[in-house]
Amino acid sequence: MYKNTVRFLSYLFGLIMIGDITVLAANWTNEANTATSYGRTIQTTKKGEVTIYEGRWNIPAHVKPSPNLATLRYYGLKVKRGERQPSKYTVTPSGTKRVLNYNLKSSAFLDEVMQKSSILSYLFFSNGSIIHSQKSPSFRLSKILKPKETYHSNSMGKSLVSYVIGHAICEGYVGDVHTEIVDWPLVKGTLYEGQKLINLLNMNARDSHVVDDTEGMKATGRWYNTTPFSSIVANELQGTKPNGKRGYHYNGLISNLLLNYAIFKSGGNFNQLLNKIFNERVGVANRVYFNKIRGSSDEAWYQFHATPEDYMRIAVTIMEDLQQNTCVGQYLKELQILKIPKKMNKLPNFPMFKKSKSYGGQFHLNYKQMEKRDLFGMDGYGGQSILIDATNSRIVVVNTVHTNYDWDTLVFKAIKNGHIPE
pLDDT tops 60 at residue 205: yes
Give the separation between CA 407 and CA 355, rounded to whole angstroms.
Answer: 11
Give the per-residue pLDDT at 240: 97
Who's near 314: CB < 8 A, 6+ residues apart?
A: 160, 163, 278, 282, 284, 306
Give the per-residue pLDDT at 21: 33
- pLDDT digits 0-9 by tens, 166-180: 999 999 999 999 999
Lowest pLDDT segment from 150-159, 246-255, 348-357: 348-357
What are the backbone angles phi and psi of residue 264, rounded to the nearest 5°? -65, -50
Give the separation between CA 27 and CA 8, rounded to whole angstroms.
Answer: 11
Who's near 268: CB < 8 A, 6+ residues apart?
A: none
Give the per-residue pLDDT at 295: 87
Indicate the pTM of the whole model.
Answer: 0.90
Q: Which CATH superfamily groups domain 88-170+261-417?
A: DD-peptidase/beta-lactamase superfamily (3.40.710.10)
CB 230 within 8 A of CB 293: no
pLDDT tops 50 at residue 10: no
Give the per-residue pLDDT at 245: 79
Give the per-residue pLDDT at 113: 96
Give the per-residue pLDDT at 253: 97
CA distances from 270 to 97, 183, 210, 277 (A): 21, 17, 29, 11
Give the separation between CA 17 and CA 35, rounded to whole angstroms.
Answer: 30
354 vs 46, more confident: 46
* Percent of the chain residues past pLDDT 70, beyond the cut: 89
Mean pLDDT of the chain: 90
- pLDDT digits 0-9 by tens, 61-102: 889 999 999 999 999 998 887 776 668 999 999 989 999 999
pLDDT tops 60 at residue 12: no
Lowest pLDDT segment from 17-21, 174-178, 225-229: 17-21
- pLDDT digits 0-9 by tens, 325-354: 999 999 999 999 999 999 766 555 566 767
Give the per-residue pLDDT at 32: 52
For the segment 36-52, the average pLDDT, to the nearest whole number, is 90
Domain ranges of the chain: 2-78, 88-170+261-417, 185-251
**Cα–chain center distance at 78:** 17
Confidence band for 210, pLDDT divided at 50, 70 and 90: very high
Give the per-residue pLDDT at 79: 85
**Per-residue burial over 32-66, b = 16 or more CB atoms within 10 Å of its CB, e = otherwise:** eeebebeeeebebebbbbbbbbeeeebbbbbbeee
- pLDDT digits 0-9 by tens, 304-329: 999 999 999 999 999 999 999 999 99
Give the per-residue pLDDT at 40: 84
Give the per-residue pLDDT at 80: 81
Give the per-residue pLDDT at 349: 58
- pLDDT digits 0-9 by tens, 109-157: 999 999 999 999 999 999 999 999 999 999 999 999 988 999 999 999 9
